[in-house]
Amino acid sequence: MTVAGGEARLLLGGPIASEIRLAVAEDVEAYRKRTGRSPGLAIVIVGRDAPSMVYLQQILKSCEAVGIASRLVEIEGEATERLVTDAIAALNADPTVNGIIVQMPLPPSIRLRAVIDAIDPAKDIDGIHPLNAGLLRLGYDGFLPATAHAAVEILRRSGIEIEGKRAVVVGRSAVVGMPAAFLLVRENATVTVCHSRTRDLEHHVRDAEILVVAAGRPGLITGSMLSPGVVVVDVGINVVGDTIVGDVDFESARHVASAITPVPRGVGPITNALLLAHLTRAAYAQEQAQPAATSSDARRPPAPDPSVTAAGGRAAPTRGHR
């Protein structure tokens, strides 16, 4: 376990993402045979924020590769909250749309909560609606935020033991830090959540056997803060000059950690693949729930997620990506 002075094992997202995408492509094909159409994803765009456009283009490309029908829904002109929520309501009612993603960040004039609340929880494939957040909090199966799901999935699929470990999550956002912490609790880790007001971050970080960092601060965590043998999942994506770096100083950390995710090529590719998996799962769940699934008042939770069981046990890894 201890690799002080050695080299950490690299936890690469690419091979795991390929495995997930392969399973998704099979599910998509089976869905198409059954229903005569492809599962559909809609991405709502409010203003063209350059970095998130790159991310969204990647999602569109991945959808095409696995046979998911995806489209951008652009709010033209001056976007008002009403225009955005009306567009979402139309997508909720559209039976060819199985999943909805809204580009973030929203312009400051539009309330995040109003937009999130407008999404049908059954189509909320990135787990941002309060119903899905609540299901996760209570240990039931709903849609998980894809990035938090990816941070834990990379550990599980790399064969890293989570149960009983001291896990520290740096970051408490609703979309990454907190859901990652809840997922780790589900996997029976003992979890500490650190944030911008945490006193003596280093003390907590040094205690970690598993460290998940999602702070959006390049170089926040250095090798000298880590315990030898720690497993590090770096969720951060920061543009520094013309490179992308994580929140962990990779060069110093890799000589102390036993395993570490690089940035890029770590968590990111899995996030993208899991979104496709969530979308396919939504399509199947809506098909099974016909005709209620096509109604915008169909405020029901999605079907169980086999990849992370409610009891915290592990599902079979073969098809457990959904």
Q: Are strands 259-260 and 99-102 parallel, antiparallel or unpaired?
A: unpaired
Q: How far apart are CA 113 and CA 103, in angstroms?
A: 14
Q: Does 265 bind ligand NAD (CB under 6 A)?
A: no
Question: Pick from 21, 123, 129, 172: which binds ligand NAD (CB under 6 A)?
Answer: 172
Q: Does 192 bind ligand NAD (CB under 6 A)?
A: no
Residue 16 or 175 having the CB closest to ligand NAD: 175
Residue 66 or 214 having the CB closest to ligand NAD: 214
In angstroms, give the least distance from the CB of 49 to ligand NAD.
Answer: 13
**What SS3 state is found at 101?**
strand
Sign of CA dihedral 15, 18, 24, 27: negative
DSSP of 214-242, one letter per residue?
A: -S--TT-B-GGGSPTT-EEEE---EEETT
Q: Does 20 bind ligand NAD (CB under 6 A)?
A: no
Residue 252 or 309 having the CB closest to ligand NAD: 252
Q: Does 261 bind ligand NAD (CB under 6 A)?
A: no
Q: Does 236 bind ligand NAD (CB under 6 A)?
A: yes
Angstrom CA distances, 142 to 83, 168, 179, 204, stand at 27, 24, 12, 30
Question: Pick from 52, 80, 85, 173: which binds ligand NAD (CB under 6 A)?
Answer: 173
Residue 151 or 293 having the CB closest to ligand NAD: 151
The angle at the Cα of 186, spanning 181 to 188, to the nearest 5 degrees, equals 95
Q: Report which of 114, 216, 93, 67 is spatially closest to residue 102, judged by C-alpha positions.
A: 114
Residue 293 or 308 having the CB closest to ligand NAD: 308
**Inter-residue contact 154 to 233 (CB < 8 Å):** yes
| Residue 192: φ, ψ to 5° | -115, 135
Segment 79 to 108, residues that bind ligand NAD, using CB under 6 A: none
- First-to-last C-alpha distance (Å) of the chain: 30
In angstroms, give the least distance from the CB of 131 to ligand NAD.
Answer: 20
Question: Pick from 237, 248, 274, 285: which binds ligand NAD (CB under 6 A)?
Answer: 237
Q: Does 177 bind ligand NAD (CB under 6 A)?
A: yes
Q: Does 273 bind ligand NAD (CB under 6 A)?
A: no
Residue 37 or 111 having the CB closest to ligand NAD: 111
Q: How far apart are CA 291 and CA 18, in angstroms?
A: 33
Residue 80 or 173 having the CB closest to ligand NAD: 173
Q: How far apart are CA 79 and CA 133, in angstroms?
A: 27
Contact footprint for ligand NAD (CB under 6 A): 147, 170-173, 175-177, 194-196, 198, 201, 214-217, 220, 235-238, 267-268, 271
